[in-house]
Amino acid sequence: MMAPLSFSKKIWKTRKEPLDCHRQLAREAGLEPFYAGIFADRHLTAVEDVRRFFEPKLGMLADPLGLRDMELGVARIILALERKEKMAVFGDYDVDGATSSALLIRYFRILGVELHLYVPDRLTEGYGPNDAAMRTLAGEGVTLVITVDCGITAHEAVETARGLGMEVIITDHHQPRDTLPSALAVINPNRADESFSHKELAGVGVAFYLVMALNRALRERGYFTGIRAEPDLKTLLDLVAVGTIADVAPLMGLNRIMVKVGLLATEHTRHVGLRVLQEAARLSGRLSAGQVGFQIGPRINAGGRLSRGRLGAELLATDDPVRAGEIAQFLEQANRERQLIEEKIQKQAFAQMMQLPPEKKILGHVLADRNWHPGVVGIVASRIAEKTHRPTIVIALDEQGIGKGSARSIPGVNLLQAIDACQSHLLAFGGHHAAAGLTIEQGQLLPFAEAFNRFLAENTPEEVFQMALLVDGHTRLTDFPFETVAQLERLQPFGRGNPEPVFVFENIRVTGQRILKDRHVKCHLADLEDNTLEAIAFNVFPGPLGEGILSGRQRLDVAGSLTINRFQGRERVQLIIRDARLAQQGSQGISSMEH
């Protein structure tokens, strides 16, 4: 029987049903039974897996020489260092690209070499290496180009570079096409012929792996002797953390190790650009994954979205506090402008959706307009996909009727596969299962939208499109003393692949409810034995969830995440409410949920 919808119109589903081995693992690790489901969702099956997960260390990183073409690329860079050749880093304009570019620039600067930085203009050049950019670099005397977070589909640009006497080393993590560009080296964990098992690396992770391999090779050659000190790679991991989190890469495996250590490094970062960003966002101390994703990342991204793409990389690479302050101030203003533009486009996009015939079943949104800013359509696509639980493509059309679009998916839909099936309607496309970009002629919009929806209807189970809250288990208010919640914090950083655990508490009475700042609802939860727990629901009022919590008329089932609220020197357990529903009569815990 289908479970009833919550106040947020969602069904609640168990994230991952644990097996006996996961229950045994929780017992062996001396942890509460609810960890069994958490271990199952993270594919942890041995005590050693749990130890590595709770205590990630840099020594656990896989060998960078396990990546194809790594030795070839490192050898070419060393030759360029010996010959004192002019080298350039070619980066993407998003946070992953900016942190990747800054990482290489900073590493080479320690070696006494200044890399030339090239970041294409989003509006006039588009994504990735292009012929004109390669001609510009060749004209400036560059002989070796290293791409970061881009290049895996840049066949023509690489050929142009070769024709101009330059060699190209590609470092990327995006999905390649059937053939690879004819670069000197192509370092990408997602190559079809790649045996390296860690596919989760973001672009900045691949760039860091290049630096790891290069640093080792230079050490073995005796490069760091006399007056030249060996770079401390740990000081670069804050950049890896920022880029990986902002790119929504899975926070598991190698990424978990680098992000966990990198976030620790943000507390005393040596990078003046990152410090001024923290000040602009009014953040202090060690950054959390959430602060990076929602406050630091958007500021770095703002320049690229509004046609100043190199500023993010320049900010993170500079050692000049005055220049860093100037860039940060510009990005702060650009971010505010971006927010206003985004809000306007989002309203117009939702208005477009409302004009569709109500009987037309839409499984994937394809929205387009001539007045939309191409630098913001990706954010709007993300917002719409999140709110409607539908894959969404938002397209900005230019005066010639050529549209540049960004696409975002939902769990259960391989976006790149869906777009690939409709490629006959497109001029170009690329990306991965969760996000993609495309170029389309205006006249192809309708047939593309129909083909896109037809593919989704024929290849996706209907339940994928039902909005759901994934929960980790049924528990009691008394299951979470301070020590247990403190233990849960060791699961951080949370993000894709390592979601914050959500627990269900049944037959709960809400007391002391009040509205904070006109949008948050704070309250206490009480069970049948009058055990209580402080709780808060953010940004839910006005709205059905906030109003449902405030009503106080009936007992509720409440789903939320446990945290320790630290305020003015006090620490106490608090539940962050994610959803609620009317209490289910006769419910028997987790078995009452959808599986």
Reported as a single tens digit per residue, the pLDDT across 42-85 is 999 999 999 999 999 999 999 999 999 999 999 999 999 999 99
DSSP string covering 59-88: GGSPPGGGSTTHHHHHHHHHHHHHHT-EEE
Work out the percent of the chain whose per-residue pLDDT is above 90: 87
What is the predicted pLDDT for the residue at 584?
Answer: 82
Q: Where are the alpha helices (DSSP H) in 194-320?
A: 203-220, 237-246, 253-265, 272-280, 289-291, 297-305, 311-317
**536 with 574: CB under 8 angstroms?**
yes
Query: Rounded CA gap, 213 and 146, in Å?
Result: 15
Q: Which two tokens stand for residue 192?
A: 């079809």
- Could you tell me where the beta strands, DSSP code E, fall in 101-222? 116-118, 142-148, 167-171, 185-187
pLDDT tens-digit series, residues 82-111: 999 999 999 998 999 999 999 999 999 999
Name the token pair of 38: 């958490």
Mean pLDDT of 490-516: 95
Contact 475, 533 (CB under 8 A): no
Phi, psi of 5 (to 5 degrees): -75, 150
Can you list the positions of beta strands (E) in 392-433? 392-397, 402-408, 428-431
Kindly report whether the global pTM for this prediction surpasses the value 0.75: yes
Which pLDDT tens digit goes with each residue over 136-162? 999 999 999 999 999 999 999 999 999
* Pairing mode of beta strands 532-537, 520-526: antiparallel
CATH numbers and ranges of domains, the chain: 1-15+472-595 (2.40.50.140), 17-49 (no CATH), 60-333 (3.90.1640.30), 356-460 (3.10.310.30)
Residue whose token pair is 């006109």: 518
Q: For 508-550, what is each residue's pLDDT tens digit?
A: 999 999 999 999 999 999 999 999 999 999 999 999 999 999 9
| CA neighbor of 439 nearest in space, from 416, 417, 406, 392 | 406
The pLDDT tens digits for 565-578 are 988 889 999 999 99
Look at residue 41 and tell me whether its pLDDT is greater than 90: yes
